[in-house]
Amino acid sequence: MTCLEKVNQYLARIEEKKDLNIFLSVFTDEARQQAALVDQKIAAGTAGALAGMVVGIKDVLCYQDHPLQCASKILDGFHSQFTATAVERLIAADAVIIGRQNCDEFAMGSSNENSAFGPTLNPHDPSRVPGGSSGASAAAIAASLCDVSLGTDTGGSVRQPAAFCGVVGLKPTYGRISRYGLAAYASSFDCIGIFASDSATVAKVLEVIAGADAYDSTASRREVPAYSQRLQAPAKARVAYIRETLDSPGLQPEIKAAMEQKLDQLRQQGHEVSEVTLPLLDYILPTYYILTTAEASSNLSRYDGVRYGYRSPNAQSLEEMYKLTRAEGFGKEVQRRIMLGAFVLSANYYDAYYTKAQRVRRLIKEATDAIFAQHDFIVLPTTPTTAFALGAHNEDPIQMYLADLYTVQANVVGIPAISIPVGTDQDQLPIGLQIMAQSFQEEQLLAFATYLENLS
């Protein structure tokens, strides 16, 4: 099949699956033109490493002269002025960008319901959410609307929707992929992540987009291994599982069973599987929500109606213009987080919340490092439940936050983690298994994930 034929097939399917509300923009003509160009390059033998790969991007990644709204009304009418480094590198490797994908507003959420454009539906069961915040990016892979999606993961937003949609989702080490051109939510947590239907494809994309970037000083200068050439199974892995994650009362029994079955299989294959404990588990979510809301309240102060995006037409004075713009432009969840963040950073409470959470972050990192001193990988569920029904947690944000119970650790610590599908529950909804590794061990992580994918 030519690249153009493939793009045309995807375009037809995107149209057919419109009701799932996955794409906010489809770059129809451009994608066709790019595909035709790639076909010529393939014929001439000059095509790049990702020639013909069709990619969708989450609506928080800049793509020059294309709309960017972070699924928020506050960015109404905004077009990117430059292209994110990760997207730029995809294009340079001859991938085709097919469109912009829905998400939770400013990547805040676990269900894709906090979008100014309405929720995305789960392709496995449209009465369920696809997860979030990169819900549509995961759903696009599950519904076969593109080969790869780029999402972002600040607390689980790639892995949790990957689990809910039955696809593979990688959050790399903090700093492995440049954040230049990614609209900031919580800068010390934000990572660009990759969705595909298998880890081998994720590896191919990672080796193209990772690496140093003059535009992001937090992007690591470490060399980028040829991940896709290093997917050989490990001879003997030392695998830890965290007792508290499997004992948690909120864990759906079928997910626990799926984890135990995989761990048994690993034992039978001669790997060393041991139990470890992490008494700090209960503190990870509160730490995450204190630090990320603090960072968000600062990052989102730039949306003031003055320079770009939405401006309230109802204001009579300058101060009212700021207030009404932000009150009308941001959704409820974003407003809640800006207020929480402003509160924890306020002079009277700074030490009690922000400083303390920074210290707990350090303790969680030390506890995680201690596990990795003896083990290569930590295996745990990606989520406590499979995809829940639309509207299920609308009244109770804490219930929604619990969806990230197992994913936030990797972000608080900065380590890489991947979710891969491991079967389904009794409603045929996908279950995700998560693997975490030490910082910058994406090579080992992807090889082990590939091994587990094939271990049936």
Give me the residues that bind ligand GLN (CB under 6 A), please: 107-110, 133, 152-157, 185, 292, 404
Task: Collect contacts of 390-398 with beta carbons under 8 A, ≥24 apart.
Answer: 390/111, 390/113, 390/119, 390/121, 390/127, 390/128, 390/129, 391/113, 392/129, 393/111, 394/113, 397/333, 397/336
Concerning whether 346 is annotated as a catalytic residue, the answer is no
Percent of residues in the chain assigned helix, strand, coil, to nearest 5? 45, 15, 40
Residue tagged active-site, from 134, 157, 220, 228: 157
* 3-class DSSP state of 250: coil
- Residues pairing with 379 in the sheet: 241, 435
Residue tagged active-site, from 17, 58, 171, 262: 58
If the CB atoms of residues 14 and 300 are measured against ligand GLN, the closer one turns out to be 300
SS (H, E, C) 380-440: EECCCCCCCECCCCCCCHHHHHHHHCCCHHHHHHCCCEEEEEEEECCCCCEEEEEEECCCC
Residue 101 CB, nearest distance to ligand GLN (Å)? 14
Task: Give residue 277's region: left, alpha or beta (phi > 0; psi -120 to 50).
Answer: beta
Instruction: Report whether 38 contacts 52 (CB < 8 A).
Output: yes
Residue 408 CB, nearest distance to ligand GLN (Å)? 7
357: amino acid identity, one letter: A
Residue 29 CB, nearest distance to ligand GLN (Å)? 31
Q: Which residues contact 291 (CB under 8 A, 6 or more apart)?
A: 186, 188, 189, 354, 357, 358, 361, 412
Residue 13 CB, nearest distance to ligand GLN (Å)? 27
Residue 194 CB, nearest distance to ligand GLN (Å)? 14
Residue 410 CB, nearest distance to ligand GLN (Å)? 10
Q: Which residues contact 114 (CB under 8 A, 6 or more apart)?
A: 71, 104, 105, 108, 132, 133, 331, 332, 333, 334
If the CB atoms of residues 48 and 156 are measured against ligand GLN, the closer one turns out to be 156
If the CB atoms of residues 34 and 299 are measured against ligand GLN, the closer one turns out to be 299
Residue 86 CB, nearest distance to ligand GLN (Å)? 16
Closest-by-Cβ residue to ligand GLN is 157
If the CB atoms of residues 156 and 421 are measured against ligand GLN, the closer one turns out to be 156
Angle between helices 85-92 and 199-209 (to 10 degrees): 100
If the CB atoms of residues 31 and 165 are measured against ligand GLN, the closer one turns out to be 165
If the CB atoms of residues 53 and 415 are measured against ligand GLN, the closer one turns out to be 415
Q: Which residues contact 178 (CB under 8 A, 6 or more apart)?
A: 84, 85, 86, 192, 211, 212, 213, 215, 216, 219
Residue tagged active-site, from 110, 111, 133, 137: 133
Concerning whether 419 is annotated as a catalytic residue, the answer is no
Give the integer Cα–Cα distance in Å for 305 and 242.
46
If the CB atoms of residues 155 and 175 are measured against ligand GLN, the closer one turns out to be 155
If the CB atoms of residues 228 and 383 are measured against ligand GLN, the closer one turns out to be 383
Q: Which residues contact 163 (CB under 8 A, 6 or more apart)?
A: 131, 169, 382, 383, 386, 419, 421, 430, 431, 432, 434
Concerning whether 58 is annotated as a catalytic residue, the answer is yes
Residue 356 CB, nearest distance to ligand GLN (Å)? 19
Give the integer Cα–Cα distance in Å for 414 and 426.
34
Active site amino acids: 58, 133, 157
